[in-house]
Each structure stands twice: as C-alpha cells, then as structure tokens.
C-alpha cells in the first residue's frame, strides 16, 4: 500500500496498479509527494488541535488517542519523504532528519486549522476530517512497518 500511495500521482497520471503493470516509472512525482506530505501534516495539525480541545474538556483518554493519531500522521509524512528520497536515487537518511521540515509544515497547518475553527468553517473542517480518515490506513501501515524494522 505504501508503494501505491507513493505512485498515486505518477507523472503520467495513471493509476498506481496500471503504472506498475505497464512497467512505467514507479517513482512518485515530487508534486504528488509534496501533496501527500501537506495532507499528512494537515492531519497531524487536526489531531493535535483535537488533542488540545479534548484536554481542555477533561477528556484525557480521547486526547491521548488524538495525540497518537497526530504523531502517526507526522511520522508517516517523514517516512514518505524518506522513501521518496530513496526512490529518486538519494542516500537513505534517518526519519529524524526530516523532522524539522515536517514540524514546520505542522506548525503552518496548526495556524490554518486555528483559523478554520475560529471562523466556524464547518465544511472545511469536515473536509479535513474526511481527508484524514482516508489517510488513516496508510498511517497505520507505515507505523506498523516502522515498528517491525
């Protein structure tokens, strides 16, 4: 599944399975990787915002789950960046080397998320939630893969 996500927006616009079956370029374009990382860091921001709100309401168990989901989204963003680097011929680097970039992206997304909440933009918030729900299986797979290594 991770490979499929990294190939999802192949330069030719093919479906991941079609690109692999036809012997096409299995590397994700830099734009598709960037979009995936932006989505993942936005999800981290959504989860971290939820964690803060849940802690303020005294829902510590739910806050811990939101924190865990935020951390999973952030770790997945680092993993995607690391795998993209390798697939484009770069030397492997530890995931932690991508943390400053991912943290910067999360910080920007937290500001955007705060604005969405402040403005009461329910439609945008729901859209963010749907995006995050769709990325959850990828996050789970990546976290399991990292844990197994």
pTM over 0.75: yes
Domain spans of the chain?
A: 30-148
At residue 26, the pLDDT reads 52
CA dihedral 8, 10, 12, 17 (to 10 degrees): -50
- CA 11/CA 26 separation, integer angstroms: 10
At residue 117, the pLDDT reads 86
pLDDT (tens place) for every residue of the chain, 149 residues total:
555 555 553 333 334 444 444 444 455 676 789 999 999 999 999 999 999 989 999 999 999 999 999 999 999 999 999 999 999 899 999 999 999 999 999 999 999 998 998 899 999 999 999 999 999 999 999 999 999 98
At residue 65, the pLDDT reads 96
At residue 31, the pLDDT reads 79
**Residues whose CB is less than 8 angstroms from the CB of residue 61 and which lie 6 or more positions away in sequence, other chains included:** none
Nearest in space to 139 (alpha carbons), one of 52, 10, 36 = 36
At residue 29, the pLDDT reads 72
Q: What angle do CA 142, 2, 65 make, to 5 degrees?
A: 30
């Amino acid at each position: 599944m991770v490979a499929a996500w990294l190939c999802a927006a192949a330069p030719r616009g093919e479906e991941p399975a079609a690109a692999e079956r036809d012997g096409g370029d299995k590397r994700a374009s830099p734009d598709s990787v960037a979009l995936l990382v932006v989505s993942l860091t936005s999800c981290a921001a959504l989860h971290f915002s939820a964690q803060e709100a849940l802690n303020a309401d005294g829902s510590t168990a739910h806050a811990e789950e939101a924190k865990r989901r935020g951390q999973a989204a952030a770790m997945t963003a680092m993993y995607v960046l690391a795998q993209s680097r390798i697939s484009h011929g770069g030397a492997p680097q530890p995931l932690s080397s991508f943390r400053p970039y991912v943290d910067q992206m999360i910080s920007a997304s937290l500001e955007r998320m705060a604005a969405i909440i402040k403005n009461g933009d329910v439609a945008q918030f729901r859209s963010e939630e749907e995006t995050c729900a769709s990325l959850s299986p990828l996050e789970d797979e990546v976290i399991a893969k990292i844990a197994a290594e």
